[in-house]
């Protein structure tokens, strides 16, 4: 039977953690007790001695003893292994609302170079991608580049670098829970194009009626 490690408050005493251990605890969230107590809890669940746990993990018994006396802490990958062995599931929840907190989606959109967009920014589509040198032009090259991007489904994606500008936009439009997928960005570019085409047609009809 699995266990879920959750708690409303931070660990009691400060512990000297490795950098990986700190990263994992940030991901894992607060737990009742501390890392030494968690290691001992896992040993109790598994019903193994320090030596037995060390053999399973491929570490020395003295290393397990150091974890349990807060002289050091397991690396992130070892903590993950410990939790899996004991059948412990980690529940992440917002401290204020109690709502579940999920990791960011794996299929989130990436840049044209293949890297992820900065996690803290909000992505917005402005149309189809055009090289920077052509963005202020209305030349044949601009139209050709835009048409190629439309054909191959390459949206133009922007985001605010300045934090205060993001804050203003989020006050008016809310904060997106995640980055959209690439397909969603393409769909947004198509929707924007349809809206712009509809506006052009309405303006053309209005001019004809006024003539």
pLDDT, position 18: 52
pLDDT, position 81: 92
For residue 20, what pLDDT band results from cuts at 50, 70 and 90?
low
**Domain parsing of the chain, residue ranges:** 3-90, 124-210
Q: What is the mean pLDDT of the chain?
A: 83
Cα separation, 157 vs 186, whole angstroms? 10
pLDDT (tens digit, 9 = 90+) per residue, 113-171?
899 999 999 999 999 999 887 877 777 888 889 899 999 999 999 999 999 999 999 99
pLDDT (tens digit, 9 = 90+) per residue, 93-123?
888 988 888 889 999 999 988 999 999 999 9
Homologous superfamily of domain range 3-90:
lambda repressor-like DNA-binding domains (1.10.260.40)
- Alpha carbon of 50 to those of 10, 33, 53, 78, 210: distances in Å? 26, 19, 5, 15, 88
pLDDT, position 30: 39
């Amino acid at each position: 039977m699995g266990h879920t490690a959750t708690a409303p408050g931070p660990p009691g005493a400060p512990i000297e953690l490795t950098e990986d251990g700190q990263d994992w605890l940030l991901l894992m969230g607060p737990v009742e007790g501390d890392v030494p107590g968690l290691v001992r809890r896992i040993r109790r669940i598994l019903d193994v001695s320090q030596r037995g746990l060390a053999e399973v993990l491929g570490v020395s018994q003295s290393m397990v003893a150091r974890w349990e006396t807060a002289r050091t802490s397991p690396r992130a990958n070892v903590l993950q292994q410990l939790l899996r062995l004991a059948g412990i599931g980690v529940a992440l929840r917002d401290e204020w609302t109690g709502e579940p907190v999920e990791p960011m989606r794996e299929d989130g959109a990436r840049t044209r170079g293949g890297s992820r967009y900065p996690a803290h920014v909000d992505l917005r589509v402005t149309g189809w991608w055009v090289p920077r040198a052509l963005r202020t032009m209305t030349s044949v090259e601009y139209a050709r580049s835009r048409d190629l991007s439309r054909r191959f489904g390459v949206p133009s994606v922007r985001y605010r670098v300045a934090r205060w500008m993001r804050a203003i936009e989020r006050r008016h439009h809310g904060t997106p829970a995640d980055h959209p997928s690439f397909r969603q960005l393409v769909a947004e570019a198509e929707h924007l194009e349809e809206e712009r085409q509809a506006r052009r047609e309405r303006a053309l009809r209005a001019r004809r009626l006024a003539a």
